[in-house]
Amino acid sequence: MPRHLVALLLLAFPLCTQATATGVIPQPERIEAGRGSFALGPNVRIVAPADRRAQEIAAFLRDGIREDSGIALRIGAATRQPRIELRTDPSVQGEEAYRLTVTPQRVEIASADDRGLFWGVQTLRQLLPPGHHATLAIAAVRIDDAPRYAWRGVMLDAARHFIPVALVKQQIDLLSRYKLNVLHWHLTDDQGWRIEIRKYPRLTSVGAWRTEADGSRSGGFYTRQDIRDIVEYARQRNVMIVPEIEMPGHASAAVAAYPSLSCPQQPIVVPATWGVFTDIYCAGDEASFTFLHDVLSEVAELFPAPYIHIGGDEVPKQQWAQSASSQQRMRDEHLAGVDALQSWFVQRIQRDLEARGKTLVGWDEILEGGADRNAIVEMWRGDAEAAKALANGNRLIVAGPFYLDTPIEELTTQDIYRINPFASPAFAGHQDQVLGAEAPLWSEYVTPRNLEAMLYPRVIALAERLWNPDANDYADFQQRLRTQYPWLDAQHIAYGPEDRDLVDYKLDYNPLQHRWRVRAARGFDDIALHYTVDGSEPTSQSPAFGDVLDRYVPATLKIAPFRHGVPYLPSQTFQSVDNKALGKPINYLTAPDPHYAGTATQLVDGVIGDDDFNDGLWVGWRGSDLDATLDLQPVTPFHTIQMRFLQQSGSWALLPRRVTFAVSDDGKTWRTLQSTPIAVDPMDLRAMIRTVRFEAATPVTARYLRVTAQNYGVLPPGHEGAGKPAHLFTDEILVQ
Ligand code: ACM
Looking at the structure, tell me whether residues 636 and 547 fall in a common domain.
no
According to the model, what pLDDT value does residue 669 have?
95
User: In percent, how much of the chain has pLDDT > 70?
Assistant: 97
Q: For residue 78, what pLDDT band results from cuts at 50, 70 and 90?
A: low
Beta strand segments in 28-68, E: 30-40, 45-47
Q: Are residues 206 and 349 in the same domain?
A: yes
pLDDT of residue 412: 98
Residues 545 and 611 reside in one and the same domain: no
CATH of the domain at 669: 2.60.120.1190
∠ CA 396-398-401, rounded to 5°: 160
CATH of the domain at 542: 2.60.40
Task: Indicate whether 283 belongs to any domain.
Answer: yes
407: in domain? no
275: nearest Cα among 314, 322, 248, 221? 314
* pLDDT the model gives residue 7: 38
CATH code at position 310: 3.20.20.80
Beta-ladder partners of 17: none
pLDDT above 70: residue 472: yes
From 372, 472, 364, select the one nearest 426 (Cα to Cα): 364
Ligand 1 pocket at CB < 6 A: 313-314, 363, 380
pLDDT above 90 (res 550): yes
Residues catalogued as catalytic:
314
| CA-based nearest residue to 102, from 43, 143, 130 | 143
372, 395 Cβ separation under 8 angstroms: no
Q: pTM for the complete prediction?
A: 0.90
Residue 615, pLDDT above cutoff 80: no
Indicate which atom in ligand 1 lies nearest the CA of residue 314.
3
Interatomic CA distance for residues 40 and 134, integer angstroms: 9
* Percent of the residues in the chain that have a pLDDT greater than 90, as a whole number: 86
Instruction: Indicate the angle between helix axes 458-467 and 474-490, nearest 10 degrees.
Output: 130
Q: In this predicted model, what pLDDT tens digit does every residue of 25-65 receive, in sequence order?
A: 999 999 999 999 999 999 999 999 999 999 999 999 999 99
d(C-alpha 711, C-alpha 626), whole Å: 7
Hey, which of 380, 651, 720 would you mutate to test ligand 1's pocket, going by the most ligand atoms within 8 Å of its Cβ? Answer: 380
User: 602 and 571, same structural domain?
Assistant: no
As a dihedral over the C-alpha atoms of residue 499, residue 503, residue 506, residue 512, rounded to 10 degrees, the angle is 120
Could you tell me if 689 and 553 lie in one domain?
Answer: no
Query: What is residue 238's DSSP assignment?
Result: T
Q: Identify whether 181 is part of a domain.
A: no
- pLDDT confidence bin for 267, thresholds 50/70/90: very high
Mean pLDDT, residues 234-239 taken together: 98
**pLDDT tens-digit series, residues 314-346:** 999 999 999 999 999 999 999 999 999 999 999
**Confidence (pLDDT) at 269:** 95
State pLDDT tens for residues 279-300: 999 999 999 999 999 999 999 9
Centre of ligand 1 to C-alpha 446, Å, is 15
- Identify the CATH number of the domain in which residue 59 sits: 3.30.379.10
Q: Is 553 part of a structural domain of the chain?
A: yes
Same-domain pairing of 360 and 316: yes
For ligand 1, the distance from its centroid to the CA atom of residue 363, given in whole angstroms, is: 7
Give the pLDDT score at 632. 94
> How confident is the model over 213-232, as a mean pLDDT?
95
Ligand 1 centroid to 117 CA: how many Å? 35
Atom of ligand 1 nearest to the CA of 363: 4
Instruction: Kindly state whether residues 696 and 596 are assigned to the same domain.
Output: yes
537, 619: one domain: no
Q: Give me the domain span that covers residue 267.
A: 187-221+240-372
Are 359 and 353 a contacting pair, CB within 8 Å? yes
Q: Which range in 210-214, 270-274, 313-317, 460-464 is most confidently predicted, on average pLDDT?
A: 460-464
The residues that bridge with 545 in the sheet, in sequence order, are 529
pLDDT band at 19 (very low <50, low <70, confident <90, very high): very low
Same domain, 211 and 336: yes
> How far separated are the first and last CA of the chain, in Å rounded?
74
**Across-strand partners of 529?**
545, 561
Choosing from 372, 390, 417, the residue where a domain stops is 372
Domain boundary among 323, 347, 372: 372
In terms of domains, do 626 and 547 share one?
no
Domain C-terminal end among 372, 407, 440: 372
- DSSP letter at 719 equals S
Number of structural domains in the chain: 4
Q: Say if 411 falls within a structural domain.
A: no
- Asked whether the predicted pLDDT for residue 6 surpasses 70, the reply is no
Q: Is the model's pLDDT at 252 over the cut of 80?
A: yes
The residue whose C-alpha atom lies closest to atom 2 belonging to ligand 1 is: 380
Q: Are residues 568 and 585 in the same domain?
A: no
User: Average pLDDT of the chain?
Assistant: 93
Choose which residue among 186, 313, 402 to substitute to test ligand 1 binding: the one with the highest number of ligand atoms within 8 A of its C-beta: 313
On whether both 629 and 730 belong to a single domain, the answer is yes
- 377, part of any domain: no
Which atom of ligand 1 lies nearest, measured to the CA of 380? 4
Atom of ligand 1 at shortest range from CA of 440: 2
Which residue type occupies 20? T
CA of 439 to the centre of ligand 1 (A): 12
Asked if residue 483 is part of any domain, the answer here is: no
**Does 512 fall in a domain?**
yes
State the pLDDT at residue 15.
34
